[in-house]
Structure 1
Amino acid sequence: MLAVSVMLYGKGAVTDAVADPNLKKLFDIGVAGLTLMVPFLAAYIGYSIAERSALAPCAIGAWVGNSFGAGFFGALIAGIIGGIVVHYLKKIPVHKVLRSVMPIFIIPIVGTLITAGVMMWGLGEPVGALTNSLTQWLQGMQQGSIVMLAVIMGLMLAFDMGGPVNKVAYAFMLICVAQGVYTVVAIAAVGICVPPLGMGLATLIGRKNFSAERARNRQGGTGDGLCWRY
């Protein structure tokens, strides 16, 4: 929505509230989504490790880290730390009276204290400094550096097709977007689209080398590639 509002505004700039208040509201909705993406990313990284009990600790930890400018790197770290903390908290033996409230009350509170505490007094500031240094480096990149970055990001995005390595590269792209460095988005878009398009073309040209099920999935994979859906 943020990108659509800028595109419809037609001046390659942030929508002006006086010139077009409706587009400005659409822009603000997009900004809200981008802001919430940081805690949401951490929450679902934690969910993948320790399920529902990790949602709140990871989201709050990422929000605390973001107050130091840690951004999406902070979200990755908070999600992993919070998920691991909650995973081990769930393994602690407790009296049967407490078992019913552990996953909905005690574990989220203790997990939040630990995860947010690590980000507040430990990792938040250094990760924020790292993100800031990275932003400055990106803004000062020369042509040769951009080509090398494109090669590295392309390899990471295609390495495990949506796995952890891919997610690190994608989070790096989100950091760049949040800091106003949009060159990396074009790099990531190509890196994301090429694998499914390549596989779709391979199943079309060498159909006999693929099972019937994989051949049937060609249309969906090709469509995903065309739509930049990973």
Structure 2
Amino acid sequence: MMKHFIKSLRLKNHLLTAISFLIPVVCGAGFMIAIGLAMGGNSSADLTKSFTFWDALAKLGGTGLGMLPMIISTGIAFSIADKPGIAPGLIVGLAAEAIGAGFIGGLIGGYMAGWLVLGTIKYVKLPNWANGLMPMLIVPFIASFIGSIIMVYIIGGPIGWLTTGLTHYLSTLNGTSKLFYGLMIGVLASVDYGGPINKTVFAFVLTMQLLG
């Protein structure tokens, strides 16, 4: 029964949908920051002051990559709840970024936001004259409010600690361990060439890249 319930959640499908939204952003922003840095740009440049073209390119690319927690959260919430999930997904993703939960927080927050939207639509009932407020006000407010509170006060902290611990572990790997992990990631990424396994590996590697 538990296996059937987990399967009914379609966790993998929602993640793959979100990754399909994420990849173009990664490619666009990644090339921008790569070209900008290669040409001597500064990704920390202040664009309100003096800057070069390459500074602007690197800065905008870095800013785009910094939005990935919000993008993955929005993509998952949209996959779960369709258009009503967009606003809560974005706001919960922002909460994850603000609390330091990063990409992993955005990923978990996307599922939470999408399910909160579905729950709000199913269980919150209004008088007939107020039904028009549901998609524009009630659903986004309730789902965003509850999701953000849960992220900031309950799950954001532990996710941040997990992120920090994982980053520390990877930074202490020796040469042999790094080679093993590199080979394993390479094999998994080439198993189905753009299929579910490849995209899952991509999400993991991207998470590690964002964590530094």
Decide whether the 8 Å contact of 1:16 with 1:24 is kept in 2. yes
Distance 1:44 1:108, change over 3 A: same
How far apart are residue 4 of structure 1 and its match?
Answer: 1.1
In the alignment, what sits opposite 2:91?
A: 60
Q: Within 1, Cα distance between the matches of 2:124 and 2:87?
A: 22
**Among 90, 95, 119, which residue is 2:151 paired with?**
119
Q: Tell me the amino acid that sits aligned with residue 2 of structure 1.
A: I
Q: Do 2:44 and 2:59's aligned partners in 1 also have CA atoms closer than 8 Å?
A: no
1:81 aligns with 2:109: no
Indicate the residue corresponding to 2:163 in structure 1: 131
Instruction: Return the letter of the residue paired with 1:61.
Output: V
Aligned to 2:142: 110
Distance 1:166 1:83, change over 3 A: farther
- Ranked by relative contact order (alpha carbons within 8 Å, sequence separation 6 or more), the top structure is 2
Q: Matched residue of 1:173: which SS?
A: helix
Cα 1:45–1:167 shift into 2, 3 Å? farther
Letter in 1 for 2:158: P
TM-score normalised by the chain length of structure 2: 0.72
In the aligned structure 2, how far is the partner of 1:154 from the partner of 1:118? Answer: 36
Q: Percent same amino acid at aligned positions? A: 27
The match for 1:8 is 39
SS of corresponding position for 2:173: coil
User: Quick check: 1:69–1:132 contact (8 Å CA) kept in 2?
Assistant: no
Match in the other structure for 1:46: 77
User: Which segments of 5 or more consecutive residues in structure 2 lack a partner in the other structure?
Assistant: 1-31
Deviates more, 1:115-124 or 1:30-39: 30-39
Conserved 8 A contact 1:70-1:131: yes
**Divergent runs of 4+, >6 A:** 15-20
Once residues 111 and 53 of structure 2 are traced to their aligned partners in structure 1, the CA distance between those partners, rounded to angstroms, is: 39
| Superposition CA RMSD, Å | 2.7
Q: Does 1:97 align with 2:129?
A: yes
Instruction: Note closer, same or farther for the CA distance 1:91–1:124 as it changes in structure 2 (3 Å cut).
Output: same
Shift of 1:173: 2.0
Q: Specify which of 158, 182, 205 is matched with residue 150 of structure 1.
A: 182
> TM (normalized to structure 1)?
0.67
State the distance in 2 between where 1:15 and 1:123 align.
30
- Structure 1 portions without partners, runs of 5+: 181-230
Distance 1:110 1:172, change over 3 A: same
